[in-house]
Chains A and B, each alone.
Chain A
Amino acid sequence: MALVSMTVNGKPVSGEVEGRTLLVQFIRENLSLTGTHVGCDTSQCGACVIHMDGKAVKACTMLALQAEGSAITTIEGLAKGDDLHPVQKAFKENHGLQCGFCTPGMIMTAVDMIDRIPNLDEETVRAELEGNICRCTGYQNIVKSILDAAETTPA
């Protein structure tokens, strides 16, 4: 076992982990932040996407020890109290989710793409969602939600 320390949603945290403990396990099991989901074991579904030092990464495809010293944001870190993040609000208003399993990863991916790419269009949104799989919505309203949020987010 080894000690790992990082900042999660602005709070310093640490814990004992094995070499093989995945970052997503540390977040869900040690920190009890269960908003970050695990939808596959092949690194393909994106349900586990979080931000590490401002970049979208798959928390299931990293070891907890690789995140030593980093700043992590999970889906729980987006809302300010009862005030939803604009992307969360857009998903709610545009019916961007059905069962909601993929939603945390979709929203973390969406926040990253809106930050990174000015003037998003539908084609770009669909290409950027390559690593996020949704079994319910058919993506239509997810794309609509992201375009809506991109429009209302000040650049």
Chain B
Amino acid sequence: MYQFDYHRAQTVAEAAELLAANDENTLLAGGQTLIPTLKQRLAMPAKLIDIGNIADLNFIKAEGDAITIGAATKHADVAASPDVAKHLPALAHLAAHIGDPAVRNRGTIGGSLANNDPAADYPAAALGLDAKIHTNKRLIDADPYFTGMFETALEDDEIITEVTFPHPEKAAYVKFPNPASRYAMVGVFVAKTPIDIRVAVTGAGANGVFRVKEMEDALSSNWSPDAVTGIKVPEDDLLSDLHGAADYRSHLISVMAGRAVAATM
């Protein structure tokens, strides 16, 4: 690792000020992505601003017909939350299957959404449930938030503070994990909310997480696995790498989508 300074922020305002002060300053949440990146010398920050201990970012709140989760909330806390289990079991299931227990004890929802790894799990839930991403500056809808592989609408000095998920009528997430890393080779989140029906796919897109309009339309008239298993996502826009070729991922999307719909019935 290159040299850097470390600062533990006590408030979001303090973190925001430090982040804006220097282009080379970087936020540190759970560190489960950033620290491995630093070890490989793929980043050279001047100062790490640790937001992991800020109390205002560590909470799970069930209010009205939505659940709001603080950005620094750990995957293990989401997985174990009675509120999440009651209103959004699909999200509890998703969080419980990220990486391994030690990763889940440190990694955070805000870090996962900010990083937007094309194989990460939370982006599928955020896009699939039309989550609202709150930052220290504004509120961003999930659709415009995800702008490409490792790319988001966040500005350089913007901090995710919390994420709001509406209670769906039905929802499920099924992933085909990479046998070595447990990241998604393909993960499909399906949801029926009071407003619309969504199918979000992670692990497969050459531009990161994406929605499958054709499957959403098919499910609107017929909520059953048969409605989606015959629909193929074109290979052109899919990842092809040592873990799997695009045609294999395309096949997995149809199968996982069918399983996800089946899991809601």
Chain A, residue nearest B5 (CB): A19
CB atoms of A20 and B1 under 8 A apart: yes
Assembled-state Cα–Cα distance A44/B2 (Å): 21
Q: 1/0 contact trace for B142-182 toward A, CB 8 Å? A: 00000000000000000000000000000000000000111
CB pair A42 B36 closer than 8 Å? yes
Chain B min CB distance to A124 (Å): 11
Contact: A128 with B4, CB < 8 Å? no
Assuming A43-B32, A62-B31, is B102 touching A20 (CB within 8 A)? no
CB distance B101 to A109 under 8 Å?
yes
Inter-subunit contact B6/A131 (CB<8 Å): no
CB pair B105 A57 closer than 8 Å: yes
CA–CA, A22 to B111, complex, Å? Answer: 20
Q: Are B103 and A63 in contact (CB under 8 A)?
A: no
Interface size class for chain B? 20 to 34
Can you list 21 A-B pairs, Cβ within 8 angstroms, ordered by A?
A18-B3, A19-B48, A20-B2, A20-B4, A20-B38, A41-B40, A43-B36, A49-B102, A56-B101, A57-B102, A57-B105, A58-B103, A61-B102, A61-B106, A63-B31, A63-B48, A66-B8, A66-B31, A113-B101, A128-B100, A131-B100
Q: Which of A2, A43, A109 contacts B35 (CB 8 A)?
A: A43
Which of B4, B105, B181: most chain A CB closer than 10 A? Answer: B105
What residues on B are CB-neighbors of A58 within 8 Å?
A: 102-103, 106
Interface residues of A in 22-78 (CB under 8 A from B): 22, 41-44, 46, 49, 55-58, 61-63, 65-66, 68
Q: Which residues of A contact B (CB under 8 A)?
A: 2, 18-20, 22, 41-44, 46, 49, 55-58, 61-63, 65-66, 68, 109, 112-113, 128, 130-132
A21–chain B nearest beta-carbon distance, Å: 9
Q: How far is the CA of A49 from the CA of B40 in the complex (A)?
A: 20
Which residue of chain A lies nearest to B74 when distances are taken between CB atoms in the complex?
A: A55
Assembly CA distance A20 to B32 (angstroms): 15
Partner of B6, one of A19, A41, A109, A128: A19
- For B1-33 the 0/1 string (1 means CB < 8 A from A) is 111111010000000000000000000100110
B103 near A131 (CB under 8 angstroms)? yes
Contact with A along B91-108 (1 / 0, CB 8 A): 000000001111101100
A37 to chain B, nearest CB (A): 14
The answer to the question of B39 belonging to the interface, with a C-beta cut-off of 8 Å to chain A, is yes
CB distance from A146 to the nearest CB of B (A): 13
Residues of B within 8 A of A112 (CB): 101
A42 to B103, CA, bound (A): 12
Task: Tell me, rounded to whole Å, the shortest Cβ–Cβ distance linking A86 to chain B.
Answer: 20
